[in-house]
Amino acid sequence: MLYKGKLVVFFGSAVIVLYAVSAAFYGRVVARDDAYKKIAIFMEAIKRIDDDYVEAPDMNKVQEAAMRGLIEALDPYCSFISKEQLAAIEKRNASGTAGVGLVLSKRADVVYVVSLQREGGAEEAGLRPGDYLVDVDGISLEDKSIKEAQSLFRGAPGSKVKVTVFRGGRPKPLEFELTRKTDAPVPAVSQMLDANVGVLDVSSLGDSTVEQARVKLKTLISAGAQKLILDLRDCADGEPVDGAELANFFLREGLIYYSKNRQGERVLQVEASPARFITDLPMVVLINGSTSGPAEIAAGALKDHKRATLVGEKSFGAGASQRQIVLKSGSIITLSTAKFYTPGGKMIQDELIRNTGIKPDVESPDDDHRQELLVESYYDDKEDVVKYRELRDRIYKEQLQKAMELLAGIAAQTKRAA
């Protein structure tokens, strides 16, 4: 019975997903007659299921599964949440708002970890970027939206939550117990290095972090910084306005980012404000695969304006605005209605993985050296958690060193020009 029920769900989803895929194939604006033909096929399939399926199907479930398949086939941040699922989410959220410090996305319909908050419950337990989530407290994440998955990690401060993950290179799933902590943005951190290099480390763009970054940046300049490193590695939260504000600290004028709708029209264009500008000191920006969302807006703007050299690894690639629509049934659909572009016209969130994200000007480490580091780590006779953290620290230090070398080169060129 379970198998047959899944077959019905799969069939309904497959038909409506076919409609979405064919619409994308023929262009963003599909001719109305063609759209009606696809809908007619879908309705015929639903009627056949209702009339001819070997058992009396639960048509509400079939319809909801088809809707979910249609919406979630669009991109990882689109979702369909039924009235019952919404009630369950609200009930979980009412039990407590503490979390574990995770930023999630989906790939091939599987929820996985983009970034972890420093000293958050997930990082302390040993989760890593790239881990695929299987279940949370025994609840399978199959067919769950990102919003549903996130709600499962919410609860009272200090309470525990168990999660099962698949990790690359491991034949069996791993289990972790995470401790929920009261949400608090990771503060911006600054430090002075040798050669008057000031480092501004922004690993979060939520809440008051941008204003903290402003204060820290001015403090570095007052302390004598002549060159800057903006560290955006692992920065994946916040709102687009936060990324634009951060970029504005280093841009006196010009376009920071814009968004386009399905017709290719610009629906939003964000320009730098001279009043928010702080410094034009030479700078390098550090990014990695966990740099996502607003941080990518900042990195992309600074790169395209040739205001900074980007060092590290290609960023994650998340850049779209979503809109929630309440249906008559009480269900909610979330749709991406516009995508973000850098000043030079680079779409941050591309459907093709090889094109998505912001590429660094200087890759560090490059593919060959990364492989060497992984091999060295593999043969290191230490506990797995220790090996991973040591490897991560080596990569972070190498990227920082590369940034220092580039800034030293800029200083030398400036001196010769003078």
Q: Give the start-to-end residue ranges of the domains of the chain.
A: 2-73, 83-179, 189-321+337-417
Global pTM value: 0.85
User: How far does CA 255 lie from the centroid of its chain?
Assistant: 23
Cβ proximity of 258 and 265 under 8 Å: no
pLDDT of residue 67: 79
Say how far apart CA 131 and CA 388 lie, in whole Å.
Answer: 13
- CATH of 189-321+337-417 among 3.30.365.10, 3.90.226.10, 3.40.50.1980, 3.40.50.300: 3.90.226.10
Report helix, strand or coil for 182. coil
pLDDT of residue 14: 41
Q: Which fold has domain 83-179?
A: Pdz3 Domain (2.30.42)
pLDDT of residue 52: 82
83-179 shares its CATH topology with 189-321+337-417: no
In 3D space, the residue among 245, 244, 175, 242 whose CA is nearest the CA of residue 205 turns out to be 242
Report helix, strand or coil for 237. coil
pLDDT (tens digit, 0 to 9) for every residue of the chain, 418 residues total?
A: 333 333 333 334 444 443 443 444 344 444 456 666 767 777 787 778 778 877 877 777 777 777 788 888 889 999 999 888 999 888 888 887 899 999 999 987 899 999 999 889 999 999 999 999 999 999 999 888 999 999 999 999 999 999 999 998 788 999 999 999 988 878 999 999 999 999 999 999 977 899 999 999 999 999 999 999 999 999 999 999 999 999 999 999 999 999 999 888 999 999 999 999 999 999 999 999 999 999 999 999 999 999 999 999 999 999 999 999 998 888 999 999 999 999 999 999 998 888 999 999 999 998 887 777 776 765 555 668 888 888 999 999 999 999 999 999 885 565 554 4
pLDDT of residue 62: 74
Say how far apart CA 268 and CA 258 lie, in whole Å.
Answer: 5
Question: What per-residue string of b and e applies to 214-248 under the rule 16 or more CB within 10 Å gives b?
Answer: bebbeebeeeebebbbbbbbbbbbbebebbbbbbb
Q: Which helix (H) or strand (E) holds 133?
A: strand 132-136
pLDDT of residue 257: 98
Cβ proximity of 49 and 63 under 8 Å: no
Close Cβ partners of 122 (under 8 Å, ≥ 6 residues apart): 100, 101, 102, 113, 116, 178
